[in-house]
């Protein structure tokens, strides 16, 4: 009887030891770095201004798929990617997909002039404090985040995307 009691005590002690020790061996469930690591988390919403000075927010696009592209005029890959984003916008707008270009850190005038030079029709927002760049863990520019209809980040991409990559990201989410 006494021996059994000691075994019970030892078993409880082992359980306590496991409880104390396991936190030092736990690993993160999502070790992806950069924007890819945001997949599955709610997309942060900030109030910004667009390139014409009007209020703009991701909250206004709830129920739509949003392709949010972070860019700057000094970034050559951003310039190269812009025509494909415009093509994507033109093709998928009727299917509930919106492309938003978020300029990181530059003035509205500079962003507007850049968009005009490339005949961009999708909304351009001005993130002068570069908040989206930080919260989306941008490793560089361009950075693209696809936000689902429920406001959750579906994909995050570091670097320029080809048109076919954009299509494969958006097609499964677009309305039929």
Per residue, the 3-state secondary structure of the chain, as one string, reads CHHHHHHHHHHHHHHHHHHHHHHHHCCCCCCCCHHHHHCCCECCCCEEEECCCCEEEHHHHCCCEEEEEEECCCCHHHHHHHHHHHHHHHHHHHHCEEEEEEEECCCHHHHHHHHHHCCCCCCEEEECCCHHHHHCCCCCCCEEEEECCCCEEEEEEECCCCHHHHHHHHCCCCCC
Is 140 near another protein (CB under 8 A)?
yes
What would the x/- binding string for another protein be over residues 71 to 110, using CB under 8 A? -xxxx----------------------------xxxx-xx
Q: Which residue has the tokens 């919260």?
A: 135
Q: Which is nearer to another protein, 135 or 174 (CB)?
A: 135
Q: Which is nearer to another protein, 33 or 90 (CB)?
A: 33
Is 21 near another protein (CB under 8 A)?
yes
Give the interface segment with another protein, choosing from 49-57, 68-76, 92-100, 146-154 (CB under 8 A). 68-76
Is 138 near another protein (CB under 8 A)?
yes
Q: How far is the CB of 44 from another protein (least distance, A)?
A: 8
Separation between Cα atoms, residue 162 and residue 94, nearest integer Å: 21
Q: Which is nearer to another protein, 118 or 139 (CB)?
A: 139
Q: How far is the CB of 13 from another protein (least distance, A)?
A: 6
Binding site for another protein (CB under 8 A): 5-6, 9, 12-13, 16-17, 19-21, 23-28, 31, 70, 72-75, 104-107, 109-110, 128-131, 133-135, 137-141
């Amino acid at each position: 009887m006494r021996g059994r009691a000691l075994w019970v005590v030892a078993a409880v002690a082992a359980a306590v030891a496991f409880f104390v020790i396991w936190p030092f061996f736990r690993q993160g469930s999502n070790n992806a770095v950069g924007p890819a690591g945001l997949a599955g988390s709610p997309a942060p919403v900030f109030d910004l201004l667009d390139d014409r000075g009007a209020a703009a927010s991701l909250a206004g696009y709830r129920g739509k798929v949003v392709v949010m592209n972070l860019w700057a005029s000094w970034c050559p890959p951003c310039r190269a990617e812009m025509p494909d984003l415009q093509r994507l916008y033109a093709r998928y707008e009727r299917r509930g997909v919106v492309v938003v270009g978020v300029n990181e850190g530059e003035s509205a005038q500079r962003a507007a002039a850049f968009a005009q030079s490339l005949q961009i029709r999708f909304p351009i927002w001005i993130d002068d404090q570069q908040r989206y760049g930080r919260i989306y863990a941008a490793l560089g520019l361009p950075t693209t985040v696809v936000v689902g209809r429920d406001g959750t980040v579906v994909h995050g991409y570091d670097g320029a995307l080809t048109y076919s990559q954009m299509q494969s990201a958006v097609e499964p989410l677009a309305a039929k």
